[in-house]
Chain A
Amino acid sequence: QNDGYRTLSLSGHVGFGSLPDQLVKKSIKQGFCFNILCIGETGSGKSTLINSLFNTNFDDPASTHFLPNVRLRAQTYELRESNVLLKLTIVNTVGFGDQINKEDSYQPIVDYIDAQFEAYLQEELKIKRSLFTYHDTRIHVCLYFISPTGHSVKSLDLLTMKSLDSKVNIIPIIGKADSISKTELQKFKNKIMSELVSNGVQIYQFPTDDETVSKINTIMNGHLPFAVVGSTEEVKIGNKMVRARQYPWGIVQVENENHCDFVKLREMLICTNMEDLREQTHARHYELYRRCRLEEMGFRDIGPENKPVSLQEAYEAKRHEFYLELQRKEEEMRQQFVQRVKEKETILKEAEQQVQTKFEHHMLMHQEVKLKLEKKKKVLEDEIAMFIEKKANAELLQSQASVSTPVVSLKRDKDRK
């Protein structure tokens, strides 16, 4: 690598050779995070393999074949080996391959992977962000379980892998491989790989650019897909208890390289290439997603006159645009509000007018009735006055008449009457 810089030689020990160690120390302190996605039909051996790989018993109950659609189930665990802390997330498909119509089976998986990318992107775009404490949920590797039919991959496998190969590192695996004999296995593997190649499916290649691991990785690339057997039970072989499956005709040992590729998978996935898987996810798959997403949102690296535009400028432009749009909308809403108020006012005024008219009408009526009553009252009062007068006259006449006649008997008659 000669970029025009001079290469100098040191005359003594400086000490920056410890830089990788500092990096290692920091990453151990932080802990590692690894996310595995297992895709496979119900009963293809996903959970058993994960249990065997990480030598623990992750509680994952077997599911039924009769689920109406495909779902994903994620579980996070914290594991420790020596002084290394690993935050492991296992995502399993549930109900994959069970439905009679499988046209929509792979969509939930694509959506899930995209959602994890989106969450990371959103965090990255935040103004106040905390990427160093962010729990990275992006899928670092996809273990795709192929059914051990001995023929080739199924149509669902092909469609699913094609929809995922640009989003995630795919490692194809033959699950429950203890039903395939050695000769059949090589033919089966060749058929699978040639089908994937001829259909343009890009699976993960173990990196061969680093000389310390390139030899082993090249050999391993030739063993794909890995034919694995998992087991949650142990059998005594010699004087050790090993993970195995016991048949009447023999015992299949999970960690016996003659029996299956389990050890190869563990070596490649965990011991050798875990960090590369994480790096590829971030540097390749995530970047692709991010670019597509930002282009969707309208960002460009090259501006209108073919001049480079920085994200900052684009962002400012977008923000301005958004702000104008916001103002316009606000104005529109205000107009609408004013309009509504006017309309309401008119309605209310009309109503008020009506009420007023009614009121006046009632007042008039009230006046009329009052006048009538007054008249009647007057008439009545006149009659009362006349009556009192008449009564007085009558009494006067009576008292005059009572002088000439015995008072008692007449009075009594009068009382009686």
Chain B
Amino acid sequence: QFSDSAGYVGFANLPNQVHRKSVKKGFEFTLMVVGESGLGKSTLINSLFLTDLYPERYIPGAAEKIERTVQIEASTVEIEERGVKLRLTVVDTPGYGDAINSQDCFKTIIQYIDNQFERYLHDESGLNRRHIIDNRVHCCFYFISPFGHGLKPLDVEFMKALHGKVNIVPVIAKADTLTLKERERLKRRVLDEISEHGIRIYQLPDADSDEDEEFKEQTRVLKASFTPNLFIPFAVIGSNQLIEVKGKKIRGRLYPWGVVEVENPEHNDFLKLRTMLVTHMQDLQEVTQDLHYENFRSERLKRTGKPVEEEVVDKDRILQQKEAELRRMQEMIAQMQAQMRMKPGDD
């Protein structure tokens, strides 16, 4: 219980100071995008950040794809909004799922994520820690095909291998191939399969969870649209084209039977995905730091490749332990001796 202070002190201004400093410092965020070719990843990323991240894209022919390995392509851009600078890195993984044998498909990806952790660990343990650059992957959008009936074996293998290293957000793109009923069915199926295989995806903290029951019931419908966890995996549509609808130019896709609007919440979950990403950027970074990075660090330090100072410290500790044990033994012996001396007296 905190009582308001009797007179003015001034620390109520702290949040403003934090705000000011963070704007000066700028933000950085790394988003990784994984999925088979042709699922709509690039179009979605361009739609999300309203920019063209892939101006000269090379799409190989089918013959080249047979033996194709996974590449890691990271592109960093600086975008600014209302004075807030964001250094955004999008890590693309072309070649994922292309080869006829996708057995080693995600080894490259795991290696990349580990390398970023390794580099951060090295920087953090160094002597000069002024300018640590955080290139760790904060979020991974995993694209699930809307044409199938649920997860595929490759999807399950990937997520199981990476859910302990990065925040996984499953996404269904090209959602304009699904009717609303089919969308519900696919989402439910995917969620069932995720829990069936013990996959841990990123859980968003629910908003407004401490309101009373009556209020919750009244605003249930409204709340639903602000409770992102009900919509995962997000079924989204992306578009690079502007189409005129009712006098306005909007992002969408033009078909003979109608126009799909990207930012229409009745058509798809695009807005929810963008809102989630933007409002939870900080949380995604924190979970990466507090959970995934810490896991990596403790595993890494347990292995034999420990830094030298740690080894020496260990030896000292072992020595101390042994000395303590010796002392304990000596005490026990003394006790027993005392007991034995007392015994003849008792008899």
- Residues of A bordering B, CB below 8 Å: 41-45, 62-66, 98-103, 147-159, 175-176, 178-179, 181-182, 195, 198-199, 245-253, 256, 258-259
- Docked-complex contact B258 and A249, CB < 8 angstroms: yes
A43-B147, A99-B153, A148-B177 are known contacts. Are A250 and B99 too (CB-CB below 8 A)?
A: no
Nearest 3 interchain pairs by C-beta:
A149-B38, A250-B258, A179-B177
A248-B180, A251-B257 are known contacts. Are A100 and B148 too (CB-CB below 8 A)?
A: no
- Docked-complex contact B100 and A102, CB < 8 angstroms: yes
For the A-B complex, the count of residue pairs with Cβ-Cβ distances under 8 Å equals 128
- Docked-complex contact A100 and B267, CB < 8 angstroms: no
A100-B157, A151-B37, A155-B62 are known contacts. Are A178 and B100 too (CB-CB below 8 A)?
A: no
- Pull 5 A–B residue pairs with CB atoms less than 8 Å apart, ordered by A: A42-B149, A152-B61, A175-B147, A178-B177, A247-B257
Bitwise interface map of B from 133 to 170 toward A, beta carbon under 8 Å scored 1, else 0: 00000000000011111111110010000000000000
- Docked-complex contact B255 and A181, CB < 8 angstroms: yes
Give A154's nearest chain B residue, CB to CB.
Answer: B62
Give B177's nearest chain A residue, CB to CB.
Answer: A179
- Docked-complex contact B176 and A101, CB < 8 angstroms: no
Of A99, A147, A158, which is within 8 A of B63 by CB? A158
Question: Given known contacts A66-B153, A158-B62, what 4 new A-B pairs fall within 8 Å (CB)?
Answer: A43-B149, A247-B179, A249-B261, A251-B258
- Docked-complex contact A157 and B62, CB < 8 angstroms: yes
- Docked-complex contact B102 and A153, CB < 8 angstroms: no
Tell me if B266 counts as interface (CB < 8 A to partner A): yes
A153-B62, A176-B177, A179-B176 are known contacts. Are A41 and B147 too (CB-CB below 8 A)?
A: yes
Give B258's nearest chain A residue, CB to CB.
Answer: A250
Tell me if B65 counts as interface (CB < 8 A to partner A): yes
Tally of contact residues, B, Cβ under 8 A: 44
- Docked-complex contact A248 and B266, CB < 8 angstroms: yes
B215-239 interface with A by 8 A CB criterion: none
Which applies to chain B's interface (DSSP): helix, strand, loop or mixed? Answer: loop
- Docked-complex contact A250 and B103, CB < 8 angstroms: no
Task: Identify the interface centre among B38, B145, B151, B259: most chain A CB within 10 Å of its CB.
Answer: B38
Residues of A contacting B66 in the complex (Cβ-Cβ under 8 angstroms)? 155, 158-159
- Docked-complex contact B267 and A259, CB < 8 angstroms: no
- Docked-complex contact A181 and B100, CB < 8 angstroms: no
B107 to chain A, nearest CB (A): 13
Give B152's nearest chain A residue, CB to CB.
Answer: A65
- Residues of B bordering A, CB below 8 Å: 37-39, 59, 61-63, 65-66, 68, 98-103, 105, 145-154, 157, 174, 176-177, 179-180, 253-261, 266-267
- Docked-complex contact A98 and B255, CB < 8 angstroms: no
Residues of B contacting A65 in the complex (Cβ-Cβ under 8 angstroms)? 148-153
- Docked-complex contact B153 and A250, CB < 8 angstroms: no
- Docked-complex contact A149 and B39, CB < 8 angstroms: yes
- Docked-complex contact B38 and A147, CB < 8 angstroms: yes
Residues of A contacting B99 in the complex (Cβ-Cβ under 8 angstroms)? 155
Of B37, B105, B157, B256, which is within 8 A of A259 by CB? B256
Give B36's nearest chain A residue, CB to CB.
Answer: A149
Residues of B contacting A41 in the complex (Cβ-Cβ under 8 angstroms)? 147-148
A225 to chain B, nearest CB (A): 14
Residues of A contacting B145 in the complex (Cβ-Cβ under 8 angstroms)? 43
Give A250's nearest chain B residue, CB to CB.
Answer: B258
Kindly state the separation between the CA atoms of A158 and B62 in the bound complex, as whole angstroms.
Answer: 7
Kindly state the separation between the CA atoms of A147 and B243 in the bound complex, as whole angstroms.
Answer: 26
Of B63, B103, B256, B261, which is within 8 A of A101 by CB? B103
- Docked-complex contact A249 and B148, CB < 8 angstroms: no
Kindly state the separation between the CA atoms of A82 and B260 in the bound complex, as whole angstroms.
Answer: 42
Give B38's nearest chain A residue, CB to CB.
Answer: A149
Kindly state the separation between the CA atoms of A155 and B66 in the bound complex, as whole angstroms.
Answer: 5
B3 to chain A, nearest CB (A): 53
Kindly state the separation between the CA atoms of A198 and B62 in the bound complex, as whole angstroms.
Answer: 11
Give B102's nearest chain A residue, CB to CB.
Answer: A100
- Docked-complex contact A151 and B38, CB < 8 angstroms: yes
- Docked-complex contact A155 and B98, CB < 8 angstroms: yes
Kindly state the separation between the CA atoms of A181 and B256 in the bound complex, as whole angstroms.
Answer: 8
Kindly state the separation between the CA atoms of A262 and B258 in the bound complex, as whole angstroms.
Answer: 19
Residues of A contacting B102 in the complex (Cβ-Cβ under 8 angstroms)? 100-102
Residues of A contacting B65 in the complex (Cβ-Cβ under 8 angstroms)? 154-155
- Docked-complex contact B100 and A103, CB < 8 angstroms: yes
